[in-house]
Amino acid sequence: MIVKTELQRHPTWREVELHEDPIILPHKTNKTICTILLKVRDDRKGSQLRYLTKTSIPILGEIRRVREWLNSPTTRQCSQCQRWGHTVHTCRSRSPFCAICGEAHPSSSHDSECKNCIGAGLSNCSCHREHCINCGDSHSATSKNCEWFKARNSQTTMKTLLDKKRDNNAAIRQARNAAKRPTFGTARKDQAQMPTTGLPTNHNA
């Protein structure tokens, strides 16, 4: 590999112990650009890192500065309510939600609490109809095909999804509250009331 050859020629990097072979990460949109990830063995203080980030490495005739690789924290998914952005320890949901069907029961009891199969008189789930509580598609809440799962490493995309979900929930609550408000009828003012008169009664007749 060209990268390892260049490292062996470098006066600083030739003695550095790599944790694994260099990893080439292509750019998402421009295929002519890539990032080379170098994992090195270091102490707890990061002494090696501070020293190496002051160097530059020639790659195919071009000088490239060595920079620290910063890992973006992965967004966590709650195993209680199946939603993203928090863990079970800080979950505020009053009820657990199933990762398979999205109903209000633990995922572990899905086979015995599946509404579709209970309605059909079956004791155990046989339909396995999947419904994601996050995006609403026909897959489990933990599916790798879900847009939420794919966004777990992107703070920007995850924030967009969370904001959209929050706005949708607010709109649903507003619509429900509006439906619950009582409506009062109004009497027509042009309706005249007929006077009521009593007829005298002759008790002597």
pTM beyond 0.95, yes or no: no
- pLDDT of 178 reads 85
Phi, psi of 30 (to 5 degrees): -110, 110
Instruction: Give mean pLDDT in consecutive 10-residue pieces for the chain, a chain of 205 residues.
Output: 80 85 85 86 85 87 86 87 93 93 91 77 74 94 95 89 90 85 60 54 53
* Rounded alpha-carbon distances, angstroms, from residue 176 to 21, 150, 173, 179, 180: 57, 32, 5, 5, 6
- pLDDT of 69 reads 85
- pLDDT of 59 reads 82
- pLDDT of 41 reads 85
Alpha-carbon torsion (26, 27, 32, 38), positive or negative: negative
- pLDDT of 187 reads 54
